[in-house]
Amino acid sequence: MRRTFFTAAISLMLIAVVGCSGDSETASSESPPPTSTPPAARATQPAIAPDLKDNNSVSDSDAPKQGGIFNTLWSDPPTLDPHLVTDGTSYGIVIEVFSGLVRLGTDPSNPFEPDLAESWSVLADGTVYEFKLRNGLKFSNGDPVTAQDFKWSFERAAHPDTASTVAEEFLGDIVGIKAIVEGTATTAQGIEVIDERTLRLKIDAPKAYFIAKLTYPTAFVLNRNNIESMGRDWVDKPVSTGPFTLKEYRIGQRIRLARNENFWDQPAYLDEVVFNLAGGVAMAMYENDEIDVTGVGLADLERVQDPTEDLNKDLVEVPPNFAVSYVGFNINEPPFDDVNFRRALNHAVDKQLIADQVFSNLVKPAYGIIPPGFPGYSADIQGLEFDPVLAQELLAQSAYGNSDERPRIVLTVPGTGGSPGLTTEVVADMWRQNLGIEIEIQQVEWATYIQDLHRGRLQAWSGLSWQADYPDPQTFIDVLFRSTSAINYGGYNNNEVDDFVISAQTEQDATKRVQYYNDAEQIVVSDAAWLPLWWGVDSKALVKPWVKDYIFSSLTVSKFKDVWLDK
């Protein structure tokens, strides 16, 4: 699951694509990745928007050139351990360095594809998956990659000592994983090594989305000797299997990735990818040739769209990512434990006005959870639209209508000083004007913010968007709102919703399965478990003319393996 920042400049978060959820209001953050569309979702939903290559891509007759360094702007990742990844910033690095059995594809008709596994079979009425690894697989240090490495990695991800907050969510369908998470076992009987190249996974019930979950970093393979010999310092010099290796990480300065010569597929063309962590003004850095790609903020939009401007030739369209930004509520804490209070907050925000006047209609107001164009999206979801009169009535009906008896409200956003973000400030102002509700905005450094979110320490939070981990409605409705989910940060608990998502987990009829998610989504929206703000952003970016085959995707995939430089 990936959290990503919803940037006030809107664009940067679309350029890099980074895991689960993420910060949405810092100019240097990027977005997260997904996984894959289950057969059920594919049967009834529209095709996902195709990936777009930059407008400087060359014809097939021009052969890619090897060499060169690609430079981009980034921020320090909270972790480089794949089994601990929950945010987009970390995800964007990790998917370049590590890999798993399967990966997300760029073909809408085939949303996931073999990675370290060359093939797989589904047996026993959908409860057994047998994977055949590619022949001759190697870690970056030359060690062979075997089925036993995957078994050890899955069990390591689930072990309490690893302290993964999402291992059960991504791997818990495998028989025996939950026992490891709970500390009552060290091995999972549902993971069987048939031989060095054959791995068999048994899950607790047929689930259409299971294979998609394996594209997430929690299911990536790690080198046991690397971790056991170096202890907690292993991430400083990780042995990996992705298209790149970690060459250098200087906190607050830069991350350098180098080509992995032992990568199973076509080796990367680039010698290195350098992530600038020191910050700076992205547009100025781009114009000074310090970085090779950047999003376009509102302040520069008119200029770069002018055909007479030199920058105009570098301009490319970026497809909306499958994400929803939101304000989250801890419904176990006053005043958010009152459904009428939460509904009042929803009805008091004029999202269309914000979209028109603040974001020049580059954002699409969200009144549901699942984004348009994504498997399971329904235009029939009835959202809580702007209605200040109804908002005041609901506030009066709540247990917190009297401001003198209302508890202190703290809204936490990621950040390290300066403005907390335009969206947060405008929403807070609308609550003040339309309801007389005053809130305090608190900024917390990104890694601490993520930690506090997982531990349920926040009363309310903003500055986040949730991006799909794979093309299935399960990644939105089940993962975020099932009462037992580790990603249900607000503690939302509704028995009807649980019944719908649990039924959807094993439903084999595609139409019924999607309807279960839609029914659950309507309840979540009516209960005002969140204040949804925007769906994926239409954006623009600048790509240097010498950069070839740089792909923008609605889902997060490894980006740099096929990029090459013509200069």
Q: What is the pTM of this model?
A: 0.86
Buried b (16+ CB within 10 A) or exposed e, 65-93: eeebebbbbbbbbbbbbbbbbbbbbbbbb
Angle (CA) 276 279 282, round 5°? 90
Q: pLDDT value at position 420?
A: 82
Q: Where are the alpha helices (DSSP H) in 125-252?
A: 147-158, 167-171, 177-181, 210-213, 224-230
Residue 280 DSSP code:
-
Radius of gyration of the chain (CA): 23
Question: Which amino acid type is present at position 481?
Answer: F
Q: What is the largest CA-CA distance in the chain?
A: 73
Say which residues have a Cβ less than 8 Å from residue 140's Cβ, sequence separation at least 6.
Answer: 239, 240, 241, 245, 260, 261, 262, 263
Q: pLDDT value at position 36?
A: 27
Per-residue pLDDT of the chain in tens (567 residues, 90 and over written 9): 555 544 433 333 333 332 344 544 433 333 322 222 222 222 223 333 334 444 454 444 578 999 999 999 999 999 999 999 999 999 999 999 999 999 988 766 678 899 999 999 999 899 999 999 999 999 999 999 999 999 999 999 999 999 999 999 999 999 999 999 999 999 999 999 999 999 999 999 999 999 999 999 999 999 999 999 999 999 999 999 999 999 999 999 999 999 999 999 999 999 999 999 999 999 999 999 999 999 998 889 999 999 999 999 999 999 888 999 999 999 999 999 999 999 999 999 999 999 999 888 888 999 999 999 999 999 999 999 999 999 999 999 999 999 999 999 999 999 887 778 888 999 999 999 999 999 999 999 988 999 999 999 999 999 888 999 888 999 999 999 999 998 999 999 999 999 999 999 999 999 999 999 999 999 999 999 999 999 977 789 999 999 999 988 888 888 899 999 998
Kindly list the domain boundaries of the chain, sorted by start residue: 323-535
Residue 335's Cβ-side half-sphere holds a number of Cα atoms within 13 Å equal to 26
163: left (phi over 0), alpha (psi -120 to 50) or beta: left
Domain range 323-535, its CATH number among 3.90.1150.10, 3.10.105.10, 3.40.640.10, 3.40.50.1370? 3.10.105.10
Strands (E), 308-459: 315-318, 323-329, 364-365, 410-414, 440-444
